[in-house]
Structure 1
Amino acid sequence: MRFAVLVFPGSNCDIDCYKAVEETIGQPVDYVWHTATDLSPYDCILVPGGFSYGDYLRCGAISRFAPVMNEVAKAAEEGKYILGICNGFQILTEAGLLPGALRRNDSMKFRCHDSVLKVNNNTTPFTRDYAQGQEIVIPIAHGEGNYYCDEETLQKLRDNRQIVFTYQNNPNGSVEDIAGICNERGNVIGMMPHPERAVSSLLGSDDGKAMFTSILQAWRDTHGAANVR
């Protein structure tokens, strides 16, 4: 399975994502610059955190026009796995690949600490190695993580089980404590907490590791490959 880690001007979690793939599941992974116009070799695309283009205008508002985002949209349509983390989540909402928007934290402060999440949907390709309702510790680091959508969209998210993660102690004011959502098909997910920073007990938690093993196992099941374990 081949992974791409996108890199925009201002990305600062690209190395974390690269190392998480390399060290937790040992799969081929490449950095891919934002001007790339071909993602066809890749099975999973990681859109990392950071401050792409300095978060000018709005977080992710400039990056969504990068050439590579046309390819991300194509990959999503083809059913490939797309994971947007923090700024990556913001970019995916700006690009229309996920509904809603990320606003300024209600505290108007940057929040950087561990957060306890509840796994609301363990049937996605990203969460299959978690138990339904499991509580996991994943760090956050954001100033604009306050997820918002209108009531009609929120009801669709509920009905389609698109609310994948919720905060147990909401740090930013997100509607319905939302920490991460997926598209209706389930192959595109965005989340504000950083699973790539929680893949080893040395980092304070290894609860993020299951996201990467989940992705690999889902891909192997689809392609008839050997078990990840």
Structure 2
Amino acid sequence: MTVSVVQFGGSNCDRDAVRALHDVGIDAERTWHEDGLPENPSGIVLPGGFSYGDYLRAGAMAGRAPIMAAVRDAASEGVPVLGICNGAQVGCETGLTPGAFTTNASARFQCEHVHLRVENADTPWTRAFEPGDVIELPIAHGEGRFEIDEERLDELDADDRILFRYCDADGNVTPESNPNGSTDGVAGVLGERESVAVLMPHPERATLAELGGTDGRGILRGFAE
């Protein structure tokens, strides 16, 4: 299987994603957006970075790039798609997942390690964990605040489409543990299919113990499920 990591102008985590996938035994290669998706990709990563320099707003330009029509088609056919950080913003902009990401409540770029509580462990991206497990991943974003209206949030909750919430080390979801002001502490959500997910933290930066942790491995192994 070969996972396509889509590279836009301004992407800066595409190489990290390819390396991290290799770390967990999954073949991956970068795909320049202008070249289109390869035929029959086994998975797709929308990586972090600053596609198109975050012009207009983060993810807005990349979300309308021609390759995203092919990504949407692939997702509708069951191809697993994972959007990470800027890729999460692109995923929301293109309608792969609900909600939107906007400027952090602090109005600052934030780069730190955070704790996440696993809300739904019955998805390809979370089957390495148990419900309520607390994992640690890094964040690096200026527009990571997840926004969604209350009615839609209730629907996501009812449908078990919330993957992760920001929490403290003991698993408590509190305002203090929410690094960016995301609605209800949401850090990652599913699309209409459980094979499509976006999250703001970086699992590809948490696959090597010597660099601070390996909790990201469980998420990336979702491509092999």
Q: Under TM normalisation by the shorter chain, which class is it?
A: over 0.9
Identity over the aligned pairs, expressed in percent? 44
> What is the RMSD of the two structures over their aligned residues, measured on CA atoms?
1.0
Specify the alignment match of 1:148 in structure 2: 147
Specify the alignment match of 1:12 in structure 2: 12
Deviation at 1:37, TM superposition (A): 3.1
Counterparts in 2 of 1:66-105, with a 5 A limit?
A: 66-105=65-104
Deviation at 1:45, TM superposition (A): 0.2
Match of 1:175 among 183, 187, 195: 183
CA distance in 2, matches of 1:157, 1:129: 22
Deviation at 1:40, TM superposition (A): 3.0
Deviation at 1:161, TM superposition (A): 0.6
Deviation at 1:36, TM superposition (A): 2.9
Deviation at 1:100, TM superposition (A): 0.7
Specify the alignment match of 1:50 in structure 2: 49
CA distance in 2, matches of 1:199, 1:213: 11
Normalising by structure 1, report the TM-score. Answer: 0.92
CA distance in 1, matches of 2:157, 2:16: 31
CA distance in 2, matches of 1:174, 1:127: 20
| Residue 197, structure 1, aligned to residue 196, structure 2 | no
**Which moved further from structure 2: 54-63 or 123-132?**
123-132
CA distance in 2, matches of 1:5, 1:137: 23
Specify the alignment match of 1:210 in structure 2: 218
2:4 alignment partner AA: A
Specify the alignment match of 1:136 in structure 2: 135
Counterpart contact for 2:45–2:83, Cα < 8 Å? yes
Specify the alignment match of 1:38 in structure 2: 37
Deviation at 1:116, TM superposition (A): 0.4
Specify the alignment match of 1:160 in structure 2: 159
Number of paired residues? 216
1:155 alignment partner AA: D
Specify the alignment match of 1:23 in structure 2: 23
Deviation at 1:203, TM superposition (A): 1.2
3-state DSSP of counterpart to 1:189: strand
> Unpaired runs of 5+ in structure 2?
168-176
CA distance in 1, matches of 2:222, 2:101: 26
Counterpart contact for 1:36–1:67, Cα < 8 Å? no
